[in-house]
Chains A and B, each alone.
Chain A
């Protein structure tokens, strides 16, 4: 618990209304989408970089852990205050500072909700592509800290590809700027790239300069049902081989289709053992050509059915199939372990088959869907933790899946980050030398281990 003296010092920095030690606030800032709970000793809502700087200086002087937090919607526990201390909520820094239509950049504070920025730039005919599933509520700060991805990444890249510059409060309270407003810049180390995806362990982001694109004129959605996962995988390779990069290339495997069919009244024939949702974007004439070519390319690959949306409503109806996955999952089993492995896209069918084998052997349902275009699979291991032995089985499945992923040249996390939940598995993927290098960076910037301690690297 914080003693009264420290609480008073925090009040002096942020004002009385913006720090709380009540049980209800401590409980309500104890969780994220991992559903784990760790109560902070206090919750603070600073107004700006200067207050954050003073808070971090105080935290260093008093040895108080500080846990930066956006919307608290992460899937790896990045914002959980596992050692108590302060939950530092950035949602008051929520201004879009400018949208520069000549240089195609936007500058925003970390508490801006991603979709709000997207709508603001789209109103001007501009485009900020990263689209994590949480974009309606997650914040830009959180997206940058975790290097969020999303379906559109296959064509447009991930968050780090759009961050040109940052203002950051370093763990000891210094405020620095990295990068800038230009598309190019090679002066010194690329601290911007280092900070993107650093999961709140190296600094608190207080300003973000983002690259924008022109908004594509139109898009067209195709839903293709295949008789096997191989057909779907071949389709992905064939489409990309034909030099068409769709804006999204989402897949669902047989277990996912069965799950959605059981839970909804969406029309999905039993013969469909895999599906792709392919969306192309661009100018109106080019998307017609692209869609037509895709239709031809996939036709010989065991297509059960192909549906092409002619209107925005029809497109929405096709996406409904993908959106129903999440709610349908709970009907399989109450608890899920949600992993987001990524393999080279050509290895996707192999990976799915390995997961199917693990699922059958351990007798637990594993439901796979995700971003086929970039080989990013959301592996959902569905268990009932109340049943003895299930949790252990899930953990065994995760370990086997991670091992197989790495063997196929993949990575254990495509877009969710390491945080807490995946920290034990880091040694599987990273060489000791690489881990030592990362720890040296952390040690240099945060010698007192104040900022988000206990994340990414296990402490013992």
Chain B
């Protein structure tokens, strides 16, 4: 079973030498790095991390604790690269450096624990089901707030953090694998991501509803797993490679025209990192689209605008996930959908594009910094006067909810797909002509 799929080949840190040389130490990253804004030290900013990564390769510095600490100080938000005059791919380089460090130092407890769970979907499933049962022991409900807070410390998880509850039933388990639509319409495969599968199934529900309303044929491949980004983030290349190989297999089987990611982080995992693993991976990653972009391209805005408008509508502020900001069209899609929704008013919020501060494993290592970044966000939200904080990534939702809770704000953070699901609850399959929507699907070839 494992031989039929091309082995994932991750780049090594040495492969990034040319990109390292592109960093001219101008210092512009100092103006844009959210972590640097909090820490104020050169070891926390992109050009410092690049210097250390290069020194590591050149043997000018050993893989010591300080280097590891510095390289852990990255949210992988990509803000520095977007503003960099030479577009140095800092996030990919930091990930490669973390793998390099892990090779020298051995993997961290966090990295090993992550691998243990992520590589075993059944264990994940079991944990997800087990947790609600033991939830009372582990967590105590935060009054009036929607997160949970740990009763006692787990390693690396702060007791202060409010955590979301696991769903009673995972999204993939509670839905059929195939959802036939209009026979003339293409097949779309859902990449649910772990968090939507286990924690926020209502977002998956919304995606399914929107896609079927547009007549798409939908498949939710059973054997899909984690996108691998958490493992990559923790410096565990081997696990990330295995997970990628598994997803390549799971999705190739159905030969979908599009693979839509419901989570901005999974989307970046399945595109920006996945495509580097080898030709077969690159080919598959070309089919991966962010769900919001696909829905906009397929004409969902018009559908939403045609829905009745209630007498009073709540206001929603939008937080744009970092992982959607790489492409302007993609970055605009969640806002366009929110704008088209008649059940919600889009309320402008300051710094709506600033990182929420989660950064995957970053917030586990650096919860204090992560919290400070979250507090800035929560304050901007409070000032917006909105009733809900909407975003397009479950990771951001978890962080934003924690930030709202910490700031003593009663409002909820949720996925925009959840709002779409609510709005489209009564909408039957729409009889859209097969040719009308413009879909970004040039690739119809076989994998």
Contact = CB atoms under 8 A, between A and B. Distances in A.
Interface stretch (A24-32, A267-275, A368-376): A24-32
A330 B22 contact: yes
B24 interface: yes
A362 B298 CA distance: 57
Contact of B27 (A23, A27, A115, A138): A138
A442 interface: no
B51 A31 contact: yes
Interface residues on B, range: 20 to 34
Nearest to A134: B27
A130 interface: no
Nearest to B83: A136
A33 B42 contact: no
Interface string B294-307: 00000000000000
A28 B46 CA distance: 10
A398 B40 CA distance: 36
A92 interface: yes
A35 B25 contact: yes
A32 B61 CA distance: 19
B378 interface: no
* A31, A91, A138, most chain B CB atoms within 10 A: A31
A33 B69 CA distance: 25
The winner among A23, A35, A330 for most chain B CB atoms within 10 A is A23
A231 B21 CA distance: 39
Contacts of B85: 326-327
A interface, over-half SS:
loop
Interface string B85-128: 11100000000000000000000000000000000000000000
Contact of B86 (A23, A25, A330): A330
B40 A24 contact: no
Q: Which residue, of B28, B64, B69, has the highest number of chain A Cβ atoms within 10 A?
A: B28
Contact of B64 (A23, A137, A327): A23
B4 interface: no
Given A23-B64, A327-B86, A32 B42 contact: no
Interface residues of A, number: 28
Contacts of B30: 71, 73, 137
Contacts of A92: 40
A22 B66 contact: yes
B404 to A, nearest CB: 27
A136 B322 CA distance: 21
Contact of B51 (A22, A28, A71, A330): A28
Interface string B47-79: 110011001000011101011011000000000
Nearest to B87: A327
A334 interface: yes
B31 interface: yes
B433 to A, nearest CB: 34
A33 B23 CA distance: 10
Given A326-B85, A330-B22, A28 B43 contact: yes
A25 B25 contact: no
A165 interface: no
Contacts of B87: 327
B385 to A, nearest CB: 21
A24 B31 contact: no
26 contacts: A22-B64, A23-B55, A23-B60, A23-B66, A24-B67, A24-B69, A25-B41, A25-B42, A25-B43, A28-B51, A28-B70, A32-B25, A32-B27, A33-B24, A33-B25, A34-B25, A35-B25, A71-B30, A72-B42, A91-B40, A92-B40, A113-B31, A137-B28, A137-B31, A327-B86, A334-B21
Given A23-B64, A24-B66, 6 more contacts: A25-B66, A28-B41, A29-B42, A73-B26, A115-B31, A137-B31
Interface of A: 22-25, 27-35, 71-73, 91-92, 113, 115, 134, 136-138, 326-327, 330, 334
